[in-house]
Amino acid sequence: MNQKVLLSIFVFICVTSFFLFTVEVQAEKDEKKIYEERLNLYKKIEALTHLPWYYLAAFDQYERNIQKDSKDKLIAISFPEEVWYGIGNLDHLDEVEAISFYQGQGLDGNGDGKASLDDPEDVLYTAAKLLLSKGMAEEDIKISLWNFYKRDLSVKTVMNIAKVYQHFKTNALLERHFPVSIKHNYSYRSTWGHRRGFGGNRIHEGTDIFANYGTPVLATTYGVVELKGWNLYGGWRIGIRDVHNIYHYYAHLNSYAEDIKIGDIVKPGDLLGTVGSTGYGPPGTAGKFPPHLHYGMYKDNGHSESSFDPYPYLRLWEQKTKEAQRK
């Protein structure tokens, strides 16, 4: 192969890499921009209603999480047309007087005299009034959410998302981290869906990351510790639910991080515990398999929760974590 061909290949690789890097940077900028636009809207409605912005943001985020194709929507909260306009309002008249006459719930959030389902300010203002319908206290908001969802996990998730947003003072929580320290030796491959024999015929609902005893286990995302303790299959384990309705399950731990408890807020990279080989028996059972972290992910769709393959995400987070640590 002559030098001209080699040079052409080199130039092509450089140009392609630069193009892909530019596209990725622009995508990150666009993503941050839409989060800023949402935050500005939440705070504008907070000024009108005195509902803290993080409750409204959490309500909107939960709706985004349970809807299909809603990731890029500015606002995900929606109302059925008959609820918004009123059952008898067949022409969907959006003047506030007409909606009030037909006993619709739509409200005017921007002062134009109309309540439009297509207007983010009107929708958010109406949602804020819904959350405040029982009062301004946290327990009052929980009651309003229960009346809306009729589901304990939904209420708990919205309130935890609000807790995370309040703590970090933003809704743009985009960082992720690999679940074990990349400064230690580890290995993993795709094992989700493989058969498991202990405890009966079942499938493996996660990815096993093999590492030495004591290797730090780290939070992959922002969230709230929802579960901690012993499990027959998982041994010492900890569960974290994030702001995307995803439950992150870390199992077979050798130990927990000092003082970590249910209800704690975590961020990517926070220490949760260390790699071990606990499980497959009563509390304290260990050593029935090589030390590793079992990492599982479960998505709640608003009705039920199901496992999905974490391997592609682990590959991405591993790359991002290494890039961040090189900077």
Residue range 94-110, pLDDT digits in tens: 999 999 999 999 999 99
pLDDT above 80: residue 125: yes
Residue 299 near residue 246 (C-beta atoms within 8 A): yes
Contacts 24+ apart (CB under 8 A), 107-113: 109/45, 109/48
Instruction: Give the pair of three-digit tokens for residue 207.
Output: 């990815």
Task: Quickly list DSSP for 216-244.
Answer: EEE--SSEEEEEEEEETTTEEEEEEEETT
The CATH fold of domain 186-326 = Glucose Permease (Domain IIA) (2.70.70)
State the pLDDT at residue 72: 76
- What phi and psi values does residue 26 have, to the nearest 5 degrees? -65, -40
Q: Is the pLDDT of residue 14 over 60?
A: no
- Whether residue 177 has pLDDT greater than 60: yes
Using CA atoms, how far apart are residues 107 and 111, in angstroms rounded to an integer? 10
Distance in angstroms (rounded) separating the CA atoms of residues 327 and 322: 9
Residue among 307, 248, 254, 262 nearest 278 (CA) = 254
Q: Please report where in the chains the tokens 């067949």 appear, as a residue.
A: 90
Q: Among residues of the chain, what percentage have pLDDT more than 90?
A: 81
Residue 300: strand pairing partners: 305
Range(s) for CATH 2.70.70.10 in the chain?
186-326
Tokens of 94: 């959006």
Reported as a single tens digit per residue, the pLDDT across 20-67 is: 344 344 445 568 899 999 999 999 999 999 999 999 999 999 999 999
Supply the pLDDT for residue 192.
83
Q: pLDDT value at position 20? A: 38
The predicted-structure confidence for 215-243, as pLDDT tens digits, reads as follows: 999 999 999 999 999 999 899 999 999 99
As a whole number of angstroms, the distance between CA 145 and CA 151 comes to 9
| Distance in Å from the first CA to the final CA of the chain | 36
Across the chain, what does the average pLDDT equal?
90
Alpha helix stretches (DSSP H) within 74-219: 81-85, 96-101, 120-131, 138-149, 152-168
148-154 long-range contacts, CB within 8 A, separation 24+? 149/302, 151/302, 153/300, 153/305, 154/62, 154/302
Question: CA dist 26 to 31, 215, 261, Å?
Answer: 9, 36, 38
